[in-house]
Chain A
Amino acid sequence: MTRTDTRVGPAEGRPTLGRARPFWTSRRRDQLTGYLFITPQVLGSAVFVILPLILVVWYSLHEWNVLAGTFDFVGTDNYQALAEDPNLGAVLRATGLFSVGLVVLNLGLALLLAVLLNQRLRGTILFRTLFFSPVVVSLVAWTIVWGFLLQDNGGVNGLLDTLGVDGPNWLRGEGTAMLSVIVVQVFKNVGLNMVLFLAALQGVPASLYEAAEVDGASRMRQFRLITVPMISPTILLTSIITVVGSLQVFAQIAVLTQGGPGTSTTVLVYYLYQQAFQFHHFGYGATLSILLFVTVLALTVLQWQMRKKWVFHES
């Protein structure tokens, strides 16, 4: 974060408005305005972000039975329980599968669509609108419709049938349920990354391609050696946004599979919801929240650290 603005307040000695006492120099007044401007955001963050984060740590050290009204300090018992939770392996596996699947498919498809839309073609605006449109469709509405299409006798299998393929019952099979949830989410939000990639592609100077053309580089080679490095800052940004977003997935799981079949689509947030709000294990729910927070933090830091290895330039 570099600050480009290094200006200080207006020149000293200018008459200040009103009859301010000497203490209120214009510089001081400006500072005060600054504090006033940020007060809602800073206070709000303190109350609705930082305080809850501290509380979540505190709660995770307690055995909390809402129904019995007990709240007892138990030290690290909840963390012990977490380590021994027979579901933990399945939950982490589902979370990892979902995140990896989503990030790979989302970024891959977003880049493909952006490259297609960046060609000199008529009607690309229309296609851009079409690909982006699910972003503005209500998430639950989108999910319900796909839930419908993915029924055993739904539209997807109907389509496969015409192609002579006997489709599986998508939402009832362990592997296919996870795949379905991922794909539904990819189509919902890939437009966002596509638009960011498109803006990045349009920022690549045409002269680079012209030079490569002169040197006889193939299209694929140009893509690998010019396009990818030039848009790598955007790839970094979108992958951070997408990874964090993938860890927050909830509505799609709740509507499509309720974590099933078995625990095959029980991702961390869904498990956290079940433990805290369905089984009323608030202390354990808080412990799972910490796990979620640490995961988000670790993955973001990791990507930020790895940027030096592959991000071409930073703006």
Chain B
Amino acid sequence: MSRDLSRRTKLVLYGALLVLAIPFVFPTWWMVTSSLKPVADIFAFPPQLLPVNPRFDAYRRVFESQPFGQQYLNSLYIALLVTIGTLAVSALAGYAFARIRFRGQNVLFLVVLAGLLIPSEVTIVPLFQMFFKLGLINTHWPLILVPIFGAPSVLATFIMRQFFISLPNELEEAARVDGLGRFATFWRIALPLSRPALGAVAIFTFLHSWNLYLEPIVFLSSPEKFTLPQALTQFVDAYGGPMWDVQLAAASMTALPVLVVFVIAQKQFVEGLAHTGLKG
């Protein structure tokens, strides 16, 4: 619907976009600016759009009240491991389901695909028991293994398969005729061509792991094992009331780095997600 618009229509559209943008932008803005305010100013009315007396006191107290650095590291390394693991598992499986013919292929693909209809919330009770029997409660293993092999990676495998199917086959065929083995064809020809799909899978896998909340609170019990989402809810004072400024400082530190990466690479983020596999 890209038609030239009159000046008046344009003004109306900009107005609508600006108003609509408020609930998307204001919370983040307010989170960051309020984390620099003393508590009394956080609830000041009218709200201060910029902190009048900026200070970093709350940021110091984040690290005093919890092993926040360790928790940050936990979330980061878990999300990175899950991302790398998912990429490996889903690229291999997606390629095989798309390109290689073997007996039982369709049945096996359906078995894997069934995972899309079994969200991890459905299986959390037996998963807890399984990891309990293995002595892996209060370790990071459940948060690493289940996403790499469970529902999120199934979606990744599906996306990779759709992408490989859409790739023209000639290059790979030429490589095979030249005597390149299957793995070499996959590794040297198909994989480099699938960068957009890998990027999209990497982004949503990372975000999924970074946002996990139910699993950490079920599996983890000691603060030095916590991940960020779990840690964010634990900033309470001696009376159990929330320490707003500290909580907001921790929330800002959790949200800002990913946000910065997103703004820098927003084209890849948005277009990668829109144009790979997920497209109807």
Contacts and interface: CB of A to CB of B under 8 A. Distances in A.
Interface of A: 1, 3-5, 7-10, 17, 29-31, 33-35, 37-38, 40-53, 55-56, 59, 113, 115-121, 123, 125, 127-142, 144-146, 148-149, 151, 153-155, 158, 161-162, 187, 191-192, 195-196, 198-201, 204, 206, 209, 222, 227, 233-234, 236-237, 244, 247-248, 250-251, 254-255, 269, 272-273, 276-277, 282, 285-286, 289-290, 292-293, 296-297, 300, 315
- Secondary structure at the A interface, as helix, strand, loop or mixed, is helix
Nearest to B165: A4
B2 A120 contact: yes
B244 interface: yes
B96 A145 contact: no
B182 A33 contact: yes
Given A35-B96, A125-B266, 14 more contacts: A8-B101, A34-B96, A38-B108, A41-B89, A45-B154, A46-B111, A50-B115, A115-B1, A138-B254, A141-B252, A141-B255, A144-B232, A195-B274, A237-B280
B229 A293 contact: no
Contacts, number: 329
A289 to B, nearest CB: 5
A133 B28 contact: yes
B59 interface: no
A269 B150 contact: no
Contacts of A141: 31, 229, 232, 251-252, 254-255
Interface of B: 1-5, 10, 13-14, 16-17, 20-21, 23-28, 30-31, 34, 42-43, 45-47, 88-90, 92-93, 95-103, 105-106, 108-109, 111-112, 114-115, 117-119, 121-130, 145-146, 148-151, 153-154, 157, 165, 169, 173, 176-177, 179, 181-183, 186, 207, 210-211, 213-214, 217-218, 228-230, 232-233, 244, 247-248, 251-252, 254-255, 258-259, 261-263, 266, 269-270, 273-275, 278-280
B49 to A, nearest CB: 11
A48 B96 contact: no
Contacts of B181: 17, 33
A196 B274 contact: yes
A244 B12 CA distance: 36
Contacts of A117: 17
16 contacts: A34-B101, A41-B154, A44-B89, A44-B148, A117-B17, A128-B270, A132-B262, A136-B269, A140-B213, A144-B248, A234-B280, A250-B213, A251-B211, A251-B214, A289-B123, A293-B117
Among B5, B17, B95, chain A packs the most CB atoms within 10 A around the CB of B17
Contact of A119 (B5, B47, B124, B151): B5
B124 to A, nearest CB: 7
B145 A48 contact: yes
Contacts of B273: 192, 195-196
B93 A42 contact: yes
B111 A158 contact: no
A285 to B, nearest CB: 5
B145 A137 contact: no
Contacts of B115: 45, 49-50
The 8 A-B pairs of least Cβ separation, nearest first, read A44-B149, A233-B280, A37-B96, A52-B123, A34-B100, A41-B93, A55-B126, A251-B213
